[in-house]
Structure 1
Amino acid sequence: MELAARKQKILSAIVESFIRTGEPVGSKSLINEAELDVSSATVRNEMADLTNKGFLVQPHTSAGRVPTEQAYRYYVDNIMKVTPVSQSGREYIETTLYRSADSPESILQGASDLISQLTDLASVATTPDGEESRVHRISFVQTGSHTAMAVVIASNGIIKTKLFRCEFLITPEILEVFDKALNKTFSGVKLSSINQPFIQTAAARFGELSLFMPGVLMAIMDGAKSAREISVCHSGYTRLMFAPDIDFLTARGVIEFLNNEHDLASMLENLPIDTSVSIGYENSRTELAQSSVVSTRYAVDGKPSGVLAVVGPVRMDYDRVISILESVADTVGTLIGELTDIDFY
């Protein structure tokens, strides 16, 4: 539904005022805020028409109007202009995230913490999808006379470690043999291809050497499986308990869903590649029927990768949230991209 210019101006002023104050908006205050050169009667008529069209509701007979989910949807799609984060803001984001740039997981946890801090809302972030990733390098760290750790380094920067045990005494020379033989076999192989049949085929190639490798091969298979699974980093869930427009029971239901990492990751991965806003009942989960989810994807080496998202009440500052998300996503993509370029050999 397309609205005339004056109706758009009135709706925009109401939405922005309500986001800022949480108070119903009356016609008199609206004239000043929207700088309308019309009478109060004209504004009241326009507000009545917007109410009839489903954009506004009047909580009480004597009160002003408040926007509906339909109003927020129209505002986000047709009126709102996203203001980019300032240069000083971008520098703050970059400086903050560089402090935790040791691994994709630490970068994403830092990003989630930062987004929650800047928006005062709950935030989530997913690790890069590992289905198309490959083994970049396998390393070994001795942890005991009969134990060592296999370190699987994937092309998407994800690093997973798995302990293994051998019946024989492990020496640096043995680990060097493992390193040379296993990197020759696994380097460049897709993580999704490293399954039981692949391991059995690899063991057959090693001949007698495979007698020393069952624990090592299983550790690599488990590490590759973990590296391709999507993990969720999160921050600020308890902020939802104090959000003014979400009651306690609703907030508890939202937090319970967010703590279900499998279902949450599935929902996030099905979100659009571009920045998106799901408002109230538009969300695929009933637990989020009174919430909004704003999401974007960070890109690694120019390819869309994991998701950054904010979860909060429908009455949120969408312009500010989107600008923060997109700025953080740019820095996250750069930092993870730099990690994937590191030569681990």
Structure 2
Amino acid sequence: MRLKERHQNILSATIHKYVATAEPVSSKTLVNEYNLTVSSATVRNAMGWLEKAGLLYQPHTSAGRIPSDWGYRTYVDQIMLPDRALREQLDQLLSQAIKEEVGSLEALLYGVAQLLATLSGYIALITFPQQQTSYLRHLQLVPLENRRIMLIIITDSYQTQSGLIDPPRRITEKLEAGEDIEQELDLLSNFLNQKLQGRSLSELATLKARDLEQEWKQDGEFLEEICQQVLQRCQSGASSQILVRGISQVLQQPEFSQLQQVQTLLHLLEAEQDQLRSVICNVVEGGVTVKIGSENPLEPMQTCSLVSANYYQGESPAGSLGLVGPTRMLYENAIALVEVAADTLSQSLSQG
């Protein structure tokens, strides 16, 4: 639905006023404070039409109106214009800040995250670069006293992962008979290292246990479980931490005055980073993604907006960054900040 210019102007004015005050907006306020060049009755009728269209709503019968998620979405898609002067100003600020961050990649990302949070007043999120070349360095099968087997995996970054596996029936029978299976597990470990050592995550993901079974000639289901665990453990070792900055700033917003809502969001940011990562990294290739309120798949974020983008090393995505705040967000600023930060960080990483 494409809005008429009059409706666009009134929706835009309502959003700007509500973002500034966090108070419902009346038609009288818009007439007095914005140069709409129309009568109070016209503004009142237009606001009524926007409410029927689902773009505004009244939180209380006697109150003014506030934007809905769909109202913000319409504003971002149809009305909002990029502020080039703001973008140039942010570009200079971030470029200077990155030049001052001499040292490790970690220090650089911490600095950018803190600057994003400070400039926006929202929560800044940055994922560390994924280890694109992560591969298996070594694995070992070790018998345990409880008739189970421990699979120990070492990745190229020397991170150690482990998991428990039930042995195949023939090995279980040997254990029950009191036979020593350590030598047999060593033989299988050596065979698997010969076949899997040095393989990347993408190669492990396409590996079929039956390809190994053709040479090992037995233990098909056991080999299948080992392959699955190797892939899962390597992926777990390669997953990237998420930097979180600016929680104290955003908690000052009136939308986060309810303790239960704050606790749910903090739990997501601190303890459910795997879920959070899937949302941050789900962005438009080469652009900025804006998810508003109920568009977010995670329930704790459905009263928030997320503005996110990828940053790159060369031509390959290295990680993602974003801003989380109330839906009552100054979208022009948030989008410009995320866009400039992603571009500046990409340039810094690509230049080495």
The question of a shared fold, defined as TM-score above 0.5 by the shorter chain, is answered with: yes
Is 2:259 aligned against 1:248?
yes
User: Does the aligned pair in 1 maintain the 2:281–2:310 contact within 8 Å?
Assistant: no
Aligned equivalents of 1:44, 1:162: Cα separation in 2:
63
Query: Which of 292, 304, 307 is the equivalent residue of 1:279?
Result: 292
1:168 is matched with none
User: Does the aligned pair in 2 maintain the 1:240–1:251 contact within 8 Å?
Assistant: no
User: Does the aligned pair in 1 maintain the 2:110–2:243 contact within 8 Å?
Assistant: yes
Query: Which of 292, 299, 308 is the equivalent residue of 2:312?
Result: 299
1:110 is matched with 111
Aligned equivalents of 2:10, 2:37: Cα separation in 1:
12
Where in structure 2 are there 5+ consecutive unaligned residues? 136-155, 161-196, 208-233
Q: Deviations over 1:81-112 (max 9, x none)?
A: 12143544322212212333533333222211
1:81 is matched with 81
User: Does the aligned pair in 1 maintain the 2:124–2:244 contact within 8 Å?
Assistant: yes
2:341 is matched with 328
Mean alpha-carbon deviation: is it higher for 247-256 or for 86-95? 86-95
2:325 is matched with 312
User: Does the aligned pair in 1 maintain the 2:124–2:323 contact within 8 Å?
Assistant: yes
User: Does the aligned pair in 1 maintain the 2:312–2:349 contact within 8 Å?
Assistant: no
Aligned equivalents of 2:131, 2:201: Cα separation in 1:
7
2:241 is matched with 231
Aligned equivalents of 1:5, 1:324: Cα separation in 2:
28
User: Does the aligned pair in 2 maintain the 1:97–1:111 contact within 8 Å?
Assistant: yes
Aligned equivalents of 1:161, 1:130: Cα separation in 2:
12
Q: 1:194 to 1:64 in 2, by over 3 A?
A: closer
Aligned equivalents of 1:43, 1:226: Cα separation in 2:
55
Q: 1:266 to 1:38 in 2, by over 3 A?
A: closer
Q: Deviations over 1:110-159 (max 9, x none)?
A: 2111111111111111123333x379xxxxxxxxxxxxxxxx7xxxxxxx
Q: Following TM superposition, by how much is the alpha carbon of 1:286 offset from its aligned partner in structure 2, in angstroms? A: 0.7
Aligned equivalents of 1:265, 1:241: Cα separation in 2:
21
Q: 1:87 to 1:46 in 2, by over 3 A?
A: closer
Aligned equivalents of 1:271, 1:328: Cα separation in 2:
15
Q: 1:27 to 1:96 in 2, by over 3 A?
A: same
Give the 3-state SS of the residue equivalent to 2:308 in structure 1: strand
Query: Which of 277, 285, 288 is the equivalent residue of 1:265?
Result: 277
Aligned equivalents of 2:334, 2:309: Cα separation in 1:
11
Aligned equivalents of 2:303, 2:83: Cα separation in 1:
26
- What CA RMSD, in Å, does the superposition of the two structures yield over aligned residues? 3.0
Q: Deviations over 1:201-250 (max 9, x none)?
A: xxxxxxxxxxxxxxxxxxxxxxx878743221221223343221122211
Q: Following TM superposition, by how much is the alpha carbon of 1:261 offset from its aligned partner in structure 2, in angstroms? A: 2.1
User: Does the aligned pair in 2 maintain the 1:107–1:336 contact within 8 Å?
Assistant: no
Aligned equivalents of 2:65, 2:158: Cα separation in 1:
57
User: Does the aligned pair in 2 maintain the 1:277–1:295 contact within 8 Å?
Assistant: yes
Q: Following TM superposition, by how much is the alpha carbon of 1:269 offset from its aligned partner in structure 2, in angstroms? A: 2.2
User: Does the aligned pair in 2 maintain the 1:13–1:33 contact within 8 Å?
Assistant: no
Aligned equivalents of 1:88, 1:71: Cα separation in 2:
28
1:25-104 to 2 correspondence within 5 Å? 25-84=25-84, 85-104=86-105
Tell me the TM-score normalised to structure 1 length. Answer: 0.69
Q: Following TM superposition, by how much is the alpha carbon of 1:13 offset from its aligned partner in structure 2, in angstroms? A: 0.7
Give the 3-state SS of the residue equivalent to 2:255 in structure 1: coil
